[in-house]
C-alpha cells in the first residue's frame, strides 16, 4: 500500500476544482464543488486523494507522516500567479506624486520614466542584488498562497545581457525557494531609445538575433509583447509572435491595456495561449478571443492602481464563453503588489466575478494559461501536491474580509513551505 506522508483532515471547506485539465469557461467557470468535512491525502509530492471523508481510503502512514487539522479552514489548489514582471531592479515610488497630479502611465513612459526607469535600475544591479530583491517578492507571493509564478523578462530589452540576467535570477529563485517559476521572454516590452522612430527594426533584431539564442537557452516557455499605442503595433506584435512559435515559444500578448489597437485579433491570429490585461477590450475583441481559443488573463490590481476605475469586461467574457484567469501583474510600475488575494477580491468587487469564478481564475484557468494544467490547478489523484490552506471557514470569507492575508499554510510538492502561527501579544502590559 502507498504510504501517506501528509494528511489534512476535518477540512471545513475543501475546493478541489476537480474535472478536466482544461480551461473552465462560461457557467463552468463558477461551478465548483465545495466539500464539507473534506480530506486530502498526499504521498510524496503527489495527491493521493482529495474529497469527502466517507470515500477517503484507509491508509498507512509514512515514518515522517504529517497530520494537519483542517477545522475552520478552507483548502484549495496552490494558487498560480500566471503573469508577473517579478525580476526587476529598484522601484518607482518617485512617480506617485506625478500620478496623483494626473500624469498618465504612458506620459511617464514618454518622459523617460516608467519602464525606462526600471530598465536603467535593472541594468545597474548585479545578479545577486536582483536575486535578493526578487526573493523578497517571491516570499511575499508564497505567503499569499502562491505555489507557481510566471515571470517575464523585459527590463533589458535591447540589452540582451540584462534579459539573460533576469532569466538567471528567475531560474535561481525556482531552484532555491519552494515555488516553480515559469519563464517568459519579453524583450519587446518597450521601444529602445535608438529605435524610437522605427520600432519594427527592433522587432527584427528580436526575431533574427534574440529568438534563436532564447531557443538554444531553452529556459523560456513563452514569448510576450506589449502591443499598445506608442509601444508595438498589432502588425509588429504578430510578426514577432509568429516567429517566436517557430523557435518553440508559445505566444502571449499584453493587449488592450490602455487602448484597443488590435491585440485581440493578433492573439487569435497567432493562437496565443493567453491575452493579458484586456482592460479596454470591446465586444468584438471578446468575440475574437473566443474564436481564437485564447484565455483572457485579467489583472484587476493594475486597473485598480491605474486609478481610473476602468476594469476588463470579465462578465461579458464569461457570458461569451471565454475562460478567465486572474493574476497580479506584479511589477514596479502599473501594479506593485504581490497580494494575489487582493487581486481576487478586486476581480469580485470591480469585475463582478463570483468568489468561485475568481478561484478558478487563479487555479485551473491560470494553470492552463501557462500550460501546466496536467500537473497543477486542481487537487486530483496524481497531480502535484501544491495546496493552499486558508484560515477561513469558506472561500467567500477569504474574498469578503479583504486586504489582509488569510493564508494559514502553503504546501509545495507535498511539503509544508509556510505555516503561520498567529502573533501572540504579551499579557503583561508594557512599561
Ligand atoms: O503589464 N504594460 C506593460 N508592462 C507592465 C508594466 C511594467 C512596468 O510598468 O514596469 C504591465 O502593466
Ligand atoms: Fe504585465
At 390, list the grid cell. 486558508
Terminal Cα distance for the chain, rounded = 59
pLDDT tens-digit series, residues 204-236:
999 999 999 999 999 999 999 999 999 999 999
Candidates 233, 218, 226; CA nearest to 252 is 226
Predicted structure pTM score = 0.98
**pLDDT at residue number 431:** 58
In this structure, which residue's CA is closest to atom 11 in ligand 1? 334
Mean pLDDT of the region 127-136: 98
Q: Which triple of cell numbers denotes residue 148?
A: 507557481
Is the Cβ atom of 270 under 6 angstroms away from ligand 1? no
Residue 409 predicted with pLDDT over 80: yes
Q: 113 CB less than 6 Å from ligand 1? A: no
Q: How confident is the model at residue 421 (pLDDT cuts 50, 70, 90)?
A: confident
Q: Ligand 1 pocket, 153 CB below 6 A?
A: no
Whole-angstrom CA distances from 352 to 136, 296, 300, 344, 356 are: 32, 15, 11, 11, 11
Residue 164's pLDDT is 98
| Residue nearest to ligand 1 atom 9, measured at CA | 333
Amino acid at each position: 500500500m502507498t504510504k501517506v506522508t501528509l494528511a489534512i483532515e476535518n477540512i471545513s471547506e475543501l475546493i478541489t476544482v476537480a474535472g478536466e485539465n482544461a480551461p473552465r469557461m462560461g457557467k463552468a467557470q463558477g461551478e465548483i464543488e465545495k466539500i464539507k468535512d473534506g480530506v486530502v491525502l498526499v504521498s510524496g509530492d503527489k495527491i493521493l486523494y482529495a474529497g469527502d471523508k466517507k470515500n477517503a481510503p484507509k491508509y498507512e502512514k509514512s515514518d515522517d507522516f504529517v497530520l494537519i487539522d483542517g477545522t475552520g479552514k478552507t483548502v484549495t489548489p496552490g494558487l498560480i500567479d500566471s503573469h508577473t514582471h517579478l525580476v526587476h531592479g529598484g522601484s518607482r515610488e518617485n512617480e506617485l506624486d506625478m500620478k496623483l497630479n494626473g500624469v498618465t502611465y504612458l506620459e511617464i513612459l514618454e518622459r523617460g520614466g516608467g519602464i525606462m526607469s526600471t530598465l536603467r535600475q535593472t541594468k545597474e544591479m548585479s545578479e545577486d542584488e536582483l536575486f535578493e530583491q526578487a526573493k523578497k517578492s517571491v516570499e511575499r507571493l508564497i505567503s499569499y498562497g502562491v505555489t507557481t509564478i510566471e515571470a517575464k523578462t523585459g527590463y533589458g530589452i535591447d540589452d540582451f545581457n540584462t534579459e539573460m540576467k533576469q532569466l538567471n535570477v528567475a531560474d535561481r529563485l525556482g531552484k532555491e525557494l519552494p515555488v516553480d517559476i515559469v519563464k517568459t521572454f519579453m524583450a519587446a516590452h518597450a521601444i529602445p531609445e535608438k529605435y524610437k522612430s522605427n520600432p519594427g527594426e527592433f522587432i527584427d533584431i528580436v526575431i533574427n538575433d534574440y529568438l534563436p539564442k532564447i531557443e538554444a537557452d531553452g529556459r523560456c516557455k513563452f514569448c510576450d509583447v506589449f502591443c499598445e499605442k506608442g509601444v508595438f503595433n498589432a502588425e509588429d506584435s504578430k510578426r514577432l509572435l509568429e516567429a517566436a512559435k517557430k523557435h518553440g515559444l508559445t505566444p502571449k500578448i499584453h493587449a488592450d491595456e490602455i487602448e484597443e489597437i488590435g491585440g485581440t485579433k493578433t492573439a487569435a491570429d497567432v493562437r496565443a495561449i493567453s491575452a493579458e490585461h484586456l482592460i479596454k477590450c470591446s465586444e468584438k475583441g471578446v468575440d475574437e478571443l473566443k474564436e481564437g481559443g485564447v484565455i483572457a488573463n485579467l489583472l484587476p490590481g493594475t486597473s485598480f492602481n491605474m486609478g481610473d476605475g476602468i476594469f476588463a469586461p470579465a462578465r461579458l467574457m464569461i457570458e461569451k464563453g471565454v475562460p478567465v484567469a486572474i493574476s497580479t501583474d506584479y511589477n514596479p510600475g502599473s501594479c506593485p503588489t504581490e497580494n494575489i488575494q487582493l487581486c481576487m477580491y478586486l476581480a469580485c468587487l470591480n469585475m463582478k466575478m463570483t468568489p468561485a469564478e475568481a478561484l478558478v481564475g487563479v487555479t485551473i484557468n491560470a494553470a492552463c494559461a501557462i500550460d501546466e494544467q496536467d500537473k497543477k490547478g486542481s487537487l486530483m489523484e496524481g497531480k502535484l501536491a501544491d495546496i493552499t490552506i486558508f484560515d477561513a471557514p469558506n472561500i467567500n470569507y477569504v474574498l469578503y474580509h479583504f486586504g489582509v492575508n488569510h493564508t494559514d499554510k502553503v504546501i509545495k510538492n507535498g511539503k509544508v513551505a509556510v505555516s503561520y502561527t498567529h502573533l501572540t501579544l504579551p499579557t503583561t502590559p508594557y512599561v
